[in-house]
Amino acid sequence: MPIEVYRIDDRLVHGQVVVGWGQPLALGFIVLVDDQVAESAWEQDLYRMGVPPEMAVHFESVAGALSRLPAYRLLPDPGLLLAGSTAAMRALVEGDPDIRHVNVGGLHHRAGRSPRLRFVFLDAAEEADLRAMRARGVEVSAQDVPGAVPVPLDDLLTRSGG
């Protein structure tokens, strides 16, 4: 089965992922890509507790994900790849031509970021990352849950919150 969703979300594993996307897509696994979490056993324990027992979580660094994505795509269940930053997803897109869609699911407020949607705040470097992905032919859109209307990148970057 393919990886159904390539999602950028700074909350990583949380309710919108596990319930919102996990149930309608019948996800069997999540590939969580974060260099720091990939080296932290206690953080992995924490994230593992956020998913139901029947769903697997694979923790990968960006480099590890790039080398093992082809194998994950051969797993029998549908999966979701989760990156905590635009930089990590950009590195994945640049290293794996089979990523054709990127879902911006949640980047929340912090110093330096400007509001674009209620669940998307971006700084200049993050906007550049998203534009770079789109320049490689990847469809980039913001959508928190499956029932919401996706907001295309051009529309997202002209918004100022709300």
Partner 1 sequence: MTAAPTLPVGTWLRVFVRLFAVQGSYNYETMIGNGIAFAAEPAFRLLPGGRDGAAYHAAMARHSRYFNAHPYLAALAVGALVRAELDGEAVERVERFRTACCGPLGAAGDRLVWAGWLPFCSALALLAYGLGASAAGVLVTFVGTYNVAHVALRAWGLRAGYREGLKVAVALGSPVLRTGPLHVARALAVVAGAALPLVLLRVRAAHPMSIGVELGLAALLAMALARWQARTDGWRVGVVLLLLFFIYSVVR
| Residues assigned a catalytic role | 14
* 150: contact with partner 1 by CB under 8 A: no
Report the b/e string of 55-91 with b at 16+ CB within 10 A: bebbbbbbeebbeebeebeebeebbbbbbbbbebbbb
Stretch 21-60: interaction string toward partner 1, x if CB under 8 A: --x------------xx--x-xx-xxxxxxxxx-------
Give the residue from 138, 30, 24, 153 showing the smallest Cα distance to 80.
30
Q: Does 160 bind partner 1 (CB under 8 A)?
A: no
- Least separation in angstroms between CB 53 and partner 1: 6
Applying CB under 8 A, does 110 fall inside the site for partner 1? yes
Question: Which is nearer to partner 1, 129 or 144 (by Cβ)?
Answer: 144
| Residue 118 in the binding site for partner 1 (CB under 8 A) | yes
The residue (of 78 and 146) whose beta carbon lies closer to partner 1 is 146
Residue 49 or 135: the one with the smaller Cβ distance to partner 1 is 49
Scan for tokens 């330096």, then name that residue.
112
The verdict on 63 binding partner 1 (CB under 8 A) reads no
Q: How many CB atoms lie within 10 A of CB 33?
A: 29
The answer to whether residues 79 and 29 touch, using CB atoms and an 8 Å cutoff, is yes
| Burial of 17 per CB tally in 10 Å (0-12, 13-18, 19+) | buried
In angstroms, the CA 31 to CA 111 distance is 28
Residues in contact with partner 1 by CB under 8 A are 11-19, 23, 36-37, 40, 42-43, 45-53, 108-110, 115, 118-119, 121, 145-149, 161
